[in-house]
Amino acid sequence: MSDVRHVLVLPDRGAAEEVVEALRERFGLDEEPQVVRDALAGEDDAEDAQWLVVLRDERERLDPVALDEFAGEWEGWREEP
Protein backbone atom coordinates (compact mmCIF):
# COMPACT_ATOMS: atom_id res chain seq x y z
CA MET A 1 0.00 0.00 0.00
CA SER A 2 1.10 3.56 -0.67
CA ASP A 3 0.90 6.60 1.58
CA VAL A 4 -1.13 8.85 -0.72
CA ARG A 5 -2.78 11.80 0.98
CA HIS A 6 -5.12 14.47 -0.31
CA VAL A 7 -5.43 17.86 1.37
CA LEU A 8 -8.58 19.92 0.92
CA VAL A 9 -8.26 23.59 1.91
CA LEU A 10 -11.45 25.20 3.26
CA PRO A 11 -12.20 28.79 4.29
CA ASP A 12 -13.53 28.06 7.78
CA ARG A 13 -14.12 25.37 10.39
CA GLY A 14 -17.82 25.02 9.61
CA ALA A 15 -17.08 24.26 5.98
CA ALA A 16 -14.39 21.76 6.98
CA GLU A 17 -16.75 19.90 9.30
CA GLU A 18 -19.48 19.83 6.63
CA VAL A 19 -16.97 18.50 4.11
CA VAL A 20 -15.99 15.62 6.41
CA GLU A 21 -19.62 14.50 6.67
CA ALA A 22 -20.23 14.88 2.94
CA LEU A 23 -17.00 13.05 2.04
CA ARG A 24 -18.15 9.96 3.89
CA GLU A 25 -21.46 9.98 2.06
CA ARG A 26 -20.19 10.78 -1.42
CA PHE A 27 -16.92 8.86 -1.50
CA GLY A 28 -17.54 6.06 1.04
CA LEU A 29 -14.32 6.62 2.96
CA ASP A 30 -12.76 3.80 4.98
CA GLU A 31 -11.04 6.14 7.40
CA GLU A 32 -12.04 9.37 9.18
CA PRO A 33 -10.43 12.45 7.57
CA GLN A 34 -8.41 14.74 9.84
CA VAL A 35 -9.44 18.39 10.28
CA VAL A 36 -6.50 20.73 10.94
CA ARG A 37 -6.41 24.50 11.49
CA ASP A 38 -3.71 26.17 9.40
CA ALA A 39 -3.00 29.71 10.62
CA LEU A 40 -1.69 32.00 7.93
CA ALA A 41 1.86 33.22 8.45
CA GLY A 42 2.05 35.99 11.04
CA GLU A 43 -1.64 35.90 11.92
CA ASP A 44 -3.00 35.07 15.37
CA ASP A 45 -6.68 35.74 14.71
CA ALA A 46 -8.85 32.67 14.09
CA GLU A 47 -10.51 34.58 11.25
CA ASP A 48 -7.17 34.48 9.42
CA ALA A 49 -6.95 30.73 9.25
CA GLN A 50 -7.64 28.11 6.66
CA TRP A 51 -8.94 24.72 7.63
CA LEU A 52 -7.47 21.59 6.09
CA VAL A 53 -9.17 18.24 5.65
CA VAL A 54 -6.55 15.51 5.22
CA LEU A 55 -7.59 12.24 3.59
CA ARG A 56 -5.50 9.10 3.42
CA ASP A 57 -5.97 7.24 0.16
CA GLU A 58 -3.78 4.15 0.45
CA ARG A 59 -5.69 2.33 -2.28
CA GLU A 60 -5.42 5.37 -4.57
CA ARG A 61 -9.10 5.16 -5.43
CA LEU A 62 -10.03 8.84 -4.96
CA ASP A 63 -9.98 10.97 -8.11
CA PRO A 64 -8.04 14.22 -7.49
CA VAL A 65 -10.16 16.16 -10.00
CA ALA A 66 -13.39 14.98 -8.35
CA LEU A 67 -12.01 15.99 -4.92
CA ASP A 68 -11.07 19.44 -6.23
CA GLU A 69 -14.55 19.95 -7.67
CA PHE A 70 -16.06 18.66 -4.43
CA ALA A 71 -14.02 21.12 -2.31
CA GLY A 72 -15.08 23.91 -4.67
CA GLU A 73 -18.66 23.37 -3.53
CA TRP A 74 -17.52 24.86 -0.17
CA GLU A 75 -15.30 27.55 -1.75
CA GLY A 76 -12.21 25.42 -1.19
CA TRP A 77 -9.71 23.49 -3.27
CA ARG A 78 -7.48 20.41 -3.25
CA GLU A 79 -3.87 21.26 -2.58
CA GLU A 80 -1.34 19.67 -4.94
CA PRO A 81 1.28 17.58 -3.12
pLDDT digit string (tens) for 6-43?
999 999 999 999 999 999 899 988 788 999 998 765 55
Mean pLDDT of the 40-55 span: 72
Whole-prediction pTM: 0.84
Whole-number Cα distances in Å, 74 to 4, 11, 59, 61? 23, 8, 26, 22
